[in-house]
């Protein structure tokens, strides 16, 4: 077990009354706030009016930045920083999913400096200090509501990369599961995959000493596998939406990764797919994950698949470990592509092999490899992309 510091200072208001606290919380930070949001779903479902009403009732002046796209662009970040500086705004409230929250993290840090925010990525400049960020989560997926990081896209360079700092972790997050009732089937499915993938990225690691965290992750995975399909069929099932929402936060808020030697594998491969083809993050993860598992499953790695199979998928514990691994992959394929109704290969979503060389190299980054549960070279990554066709 490695040494670690556990420090998750995001205050969470959870439940169908969460928005009632917005005004009093915002007031603690500022009397001028930037409200950021995406393509307008919050106007269709009434969240916008409710948030605005609460903020204005508490005497906070609200400025707005809308139009933040899925796979958020650095251009939105630049625009947000411009407004913050011009109006001398004291905090940001991001209302949306991971895209709106991530872009707002870059705004929060970018507002404090004079250089272009892409330098947080290209020159690895620290995202500190940062303006206080508050979030109203409208879909369960990324966990951005409770983590430090953000992922941002530069369309000019076909790059989608992440950065973050403890200063960009939200100060307060309002998690009301009823706000996710209007998330459509497809986004609910993609969000479910994303949560599960965050747990996999921590679960599949080379640290054999994290018995306690492994068992907690198995419970989180069971939760997501149980409630994802229910939320798809019954979008207004509070229990399902609430379990998914809280699982999304705990999958990535640092608790299950504390002390482990995990290194994320499928996410860097997926980020290349969404950087080049602008696909939904969770869909890319669904297509890649079972293929990655097939690629890395062998006598040496089978014990981890065995734990997953027996403890999460209820597979017969008397079977051979490798056999259990193969059944896990089958069950996962069924979960992603039948239960969650997602497309199962890249060709079906219009992606061919033409950029695989370029994407494989970029996925391996400056180190030239992905040091995960099983180390992958660009050639390995290319092979995994090819398996997804």
Is there binding between residue 150 and ligand NZQ (CB under 6 A)? yes
Is there binding between residue 325 and ligand NZQ (CB under 6 A)? no
Instruction: Give dist(CA 68, CA 216) in Å, integer.
Output: 34
Q: Which is nearer to ligand NZQ, 270 or 380 (CB)?
A: 270
> From the list 252, 296, 308, 312, which residue makes contact with ligand NZQ (rule: CB under 6 A)?
252
Closest distance to Zn ion from the beta carbon of 46 (Å): 28
Is there binding between residue 272 and Zn ion (CB under 5 A)? no
Decide the pairing of beta strands 149-154 and 133-137: unpaired
Instruction: Give dist(CA 70, CA 107) in Å, integer.
Output: 16
Mark 253-272 with x for binding to ligand NZQ (rule: CB under 6 A) and - for no binding: --------------x-----
In this chain, which stretch among 109-117, 191-199, 208-216, 300-308 interacts with Zn ion, using CB under 5 A?
A: 191-199
> From the list 132, 177, 191, 290, which residue makes contact with ligand NZQ (rule: CB under 6 A)?
191
Closest distance to Zn ion from the beta carbon of 194 (Å): 4
Q: Which does residue 138 touch among Zn ion, ligand NZQ, none (CB within 5 to 8 A, set by kind)?
A: ligand NZQ
Instruction: Give dist(CA 266, CA 293) in Å, integer.
Output: 10
DSSP code at position 335 = I
The candidate with the shortest Cα–Cα distance to 20, out of 176, 142, 150, is: 176
What is the 3-state composition of the chain as percent helix, strand, coil, each rounded to the nearest 5?
50, 10, 35
68 near 103, Cβ under 8 Å? yes
Q: Where are the alpha helices (DSSP H) in 28-162?
A: 41-44, 47-57, 74-87, 98-110, 119-122
Closest distance to ligand NZQ from the beta carbon of 27 (Å): 25
The residue ranges that bind ligand NZQ (CB under 6 A) are: 38-41, 45, 70-71, 96-100, 102, 138-139, 141-144, 147, 149-151, 179-180, 182-183, 187, 191, 194, 252, 267, 281
């Amino acid at each position: 077990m490695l040494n670690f510091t556990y420090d998750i200072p995001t205050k969470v208001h959870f439940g169908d009354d969460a928005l009632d606290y917005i005004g009093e919380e915002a007031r603690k930070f500022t009397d001028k706030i930037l409200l950021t949001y995406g393509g307008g779903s919050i106007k269709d479902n009434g969240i916008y009016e409710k948030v605005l009403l609460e903020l204005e009732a508490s005497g906070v002046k609200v400025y707005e930045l809308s139009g933040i796209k899925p796979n958020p662009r650095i251009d939105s970040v630049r625009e947000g920083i411009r407004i913050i500086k011009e109006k001398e705004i004291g905090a940001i409230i991001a209302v949306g999913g991971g895209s709106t929250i991530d872009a707002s993290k870059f705004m929060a840090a970018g507002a404090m400096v004079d250089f272009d925010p892409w330098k947080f990525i290209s020159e690895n400049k620290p995202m500190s200090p940062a303006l206080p960020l508050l979030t109203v989560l409208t879909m369960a997926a990324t966990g951005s509501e409770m983590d430090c990081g953000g992922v941002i896209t530069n369309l000019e360079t076909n790059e989608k990369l992440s950065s973050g700092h403890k200063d960009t972790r939200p100060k307060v997050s309002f998690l009301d599961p009823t706000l996710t009732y209007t998330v459509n089937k497809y986004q609910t499915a993609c969000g479910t995959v994303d949560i599960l993938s965050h747990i996999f990225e921590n679960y599949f690691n080379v640290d054999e000493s994290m018995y306690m965290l492994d068992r907690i992750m198995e419970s989180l995975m069971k939760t997501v596998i149980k409630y994802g399909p229910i939320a798809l069929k019954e979008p207004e099932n509070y229990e399902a939406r609430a379990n998914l929402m809280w699982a999304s936060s705990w999958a990535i808020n640092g608790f299950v990764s504390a002390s482990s030697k995990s290194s994320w594998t499928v996410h860097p491969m997926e980020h290349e797919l969404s950087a080049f083809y602008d696909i939904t993050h969770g869909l890319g993860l669904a297509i890649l994950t079972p293929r990655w598992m097939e690629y890395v499953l062998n006598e040496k790695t089978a014990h981890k698949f065995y734990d997953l199979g027996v403890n999460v998928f209820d597979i017969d514990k008397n079977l051979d470990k490798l056999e259990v691994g193969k059944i896990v992959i089958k069950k996962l394929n069924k979960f992603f592509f039948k239960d969650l109704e997602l497309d199962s290969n890249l060709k079906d979503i219009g992606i061919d092999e033409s950029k695989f060389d370029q994407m494989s190299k970029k996925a391996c980054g400056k180190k030239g490899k992905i040091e995960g549960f099983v180390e992958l070279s660009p050639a390995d990554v290319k092979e995994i992309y090819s398996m997804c066709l």
